[in-house]
Amino acid sequence: MIWSTYATFESMHGVKSSRSELIDRLRPFSRASVISLCSFIGLVLKLWEPGGYDLKRYDHLISCAFDPLRGDWYKLAARLQHPELVFHRRQLVLLVKLSAMHCPVVGVDAWNTAPGFFGTVLLMANDHFHYGLTEWAGIAELDKVKRLFAEFIPVSEGAGFRPEHKLVRSHLMLKYASQFRGSPNFIDIPARFQEAKGLSLADYQALCFGLFAKCATISIEELQRGASAFTFVEPNFHAMALPKRSVTLFLEEVASTPEHLSARIKHRDYGPNDFTELRKHPLISVSKGFLPIDIRFLVEKFEGGPYWAINGIDKSTGDRLRRLWGEVFEVYMNDLLTESLKQTGAQFIPDPRCTDDPSRQVCDGLILQDESLVLLEYKASMFSAETKYTGNVSLLVEEVEKKLVRDKAESKKKGVEQLADAVVRLFRNEEKKAAVRGLELNGVTRVYPLLVTLDGIGGSLLVSRLLNHYFDNFMADRMPSRVEVKPLLCTDVEGLEEVSGCFPRLGLAGFLDYWLSKDPNFIATLTAFTVPELEGYRNERMAREWRDLSEEIIARAFPEEHKAANQGKDL
């Protein structure tokens, strides 16, 4: 795990820039030039990918942004054991947000300024992401954890990710949702989406996927042409065999003008880390076409666009959708684990029930392998922008407790308390312990409670440290004596997807043990530490699902070409 920080104006010059100073520095530039330059930097460095930058490309951008003296320092700083980096996703998106609000249509071309001026803008932007919650005087240890957790949520969201995981997962979950026609929570998502937006869900997904694929695969040679390489106009989409009306409606859904964005942001904005309006509209309309703001936002539009479109129909539909999504996520997780654990020797039981009371669920799933038992709870709850991006620690902790620990208002147990109860039910009292049909627990010596979230908050630094505090309280005076109960850990679904491909080589309990051995204070995440012998191990399930999704999209968008290609394979 490599820790890096980003370079700031304050660290270089000894004084923190104010928001008004940043805006004044940015204001002379034309907004289209700022938006296109920020998009260009993200595409050149591939900031959505996990891992480090291409340092040759990084050095070139540094030379363009800074005078030689500062530029040489930042090139060196990027190569330190703990790198200090200038560019990152949140910085660039913040500048897009501010330029939409404050820059004129006609102004200085940000692409053609002398080295130094725009570099200072980049550093100033980096001054404004932290909430100032790290003053420790007189602060209790738990409060320090809560404060740091609040700081790290937007940091984690700004890090690299795996687009194929989000795209495949969302596509599969929409398919699983169609299986719930007998559920009182069922919603015909394709039909309701088309009613709300006017285009079919299949056309929407094909256009989203195509736009993402084009942006993610633009070559460095194409990027040398500048903004024209990634400025899109409506006819660009007409090469796809989709109705032109679908293209028009799609662009109305994913694109926005700077004026509209500015008005929406002024109406509701939770600070420099809040990019809600840009997530809703990952394309910005400028005079020459549409500019992509950020690759992750394009992927999230594929992933969450249908969900939020239906959620916004009315409160009753939104409430039903959230209940349905919890059921769908449980099926998705169970299918993921069932397939990943084949031929591993592990026994996976989804929805385990007590033999003496089948109405009582022990937990959402459990995995028995050798002497280790992993108890799982899955949570599909989404967390609000106000909670994640204001730096209001009390508000954040209140929502975490409500959705992941215990809903006090409804006296309802949530993931952490459910896992504690599962441990007690299975192991606390040898004479009265619960039995699960088809499961033999006498050989178990170690128990691993694991909470998995659909929201990325479960993959944030320190979330396990915070949640384990509540778990310890629930287990006080109830800890079994016969088995070792490991600390509760939490991961988002992407982390579990990433390691699941390695289960034939190392079981989930093995991954959790490795995590605990490297991170005894539960600061990091499931995927922060690479198991050396598994580095580069291919996730065959994800690769197969990715191929299937790609084939499905290509068949819809380019049916003739797809047919010809498949005919060639058959010869």
pLDDT of residue 134: 80
The closest alpha carbon to 545, from 209, 170, 89, belongs to 170
**Does the pLDDT of residue 51 top 90, yes or no?**
no
Give start and end residues of each alpha helix (H) in 66-106: 68-77, 89-102
pLDDT of residue 83: 92
Q: Pick from 468-477, 524-533, 557-566 the range whose average pLDDT is largest.
A: 468-477
431's CB contacts (< 8 A; 6+ apart) are: none
Give tens-digit pLDDT for 117-129. Answer: 999 999 999 999 9
The closest alpha carbon to 448, from 381, 385, 390, 370, belongs to 370
Q: Token pair of 329, please?
A: 């996520």
The closest alpha carbon to 374, from 257, 274, 489, belongs to 489
Q: Token pair of 538, please?
A: 């291919």
What gap in Å lies between CA 263 and CA 252, rounded to an integer? 17
Contact call for residues 531 and 506 (beta carbons, < 8 A): yes
Give tens-digit pLDDT for 253-296. Answer: 999 999 999 999 999 999 999 999 999 999 999 999 999 999 99
The closest alpha carbon to 38, from 103, 99, 106, 120, belongs to 99
pLDDT of residue 570: 53
Residue 352 pLDDT level (bands cut at 50, 70, 90): very high
Give tens-digit pLDDT for 160-205. Answer: 899 999 999 999 999 999 999 999 999 999 999 999 999 999 999 9
Give mean pLDDT, residues 14-19: 96
**Does the pLDDT of residue 571 top 60, yes or no?**
no
What gap in Å lies between CA 94 and CA 517, rounded to an integer? 37
pLDDT of residue 155: 93
Full-model pTM: 0.95
What gap in Å lies between CA 96 and CA 51, rounded to an integer? 24
166's CB contacts (< 8 A; 6+ apart) are: 299, 300, 302, 303, 494
pLDDT of residue 356: 81
What gap in Å lies between CA 314 and CA 504, rounded to an integer? 45
pLDDT of residue 567: 78
Residue 439 pLDDT level (bands cut at 50, 70, 90): confident
The closest alpha carbon to 469, from 48, 91, 142, belongs to 142
Identify the residue whose tokens are 């991006």.
Answer: 389
Contact call for residues 274 and 385 (beta carbons, < 8 A): yes
pLDDT of residue 472: 97
pLDDT of residue 259: 95
Give tens-digit pLDDT for 454-468. Answer: 999 999 999 999 999
Report the percentage of the chain scoring pLDDT > 90: 85
**Does the pLDDT of residue 217 top 70, yes or no?**
yes
Average pLDDT, rounded, for the chain: 93
pLDDT of residue 4: 78
**Does the pLDDT of residue 3 top 80, yes or no?**
no
pLDDT of residue 421: 95
What gap in Å lies between CA 91 and CA 82, rounded to an integer? 19
pLDDT of residue 429: 64
